[in-house]
Amino acid sequence: MGWDRKKWGPSTGYFYISKRVPGKPYPVKVYYGRGTAGHEAAIEVERRRQGRTEAEKLLEAERNPTDEADRFAAELREWAEVLSAALLILTGHHRRRGEWRKNRVS
Q: What per-residue confidence (pLDDT) applies to 5? A: 60
pLDDT tens readout for residues 49-106 = 999 999 999 888 877 777 888 889 999 999 999 999 999 999 999 988 888 898 887 5
Gap between the Cα atoms of 89 and 96, Å rounded:
12
Q: How far is the C-alpha of 2 from the C-alpha of 17, rounded, in Å?
A: 6
> How far is the C-alpha of 86 from the C-alpha of 80, rounded, in Å?
10
Q: Is the pLDDT of residue 46 over 80?
A: yes
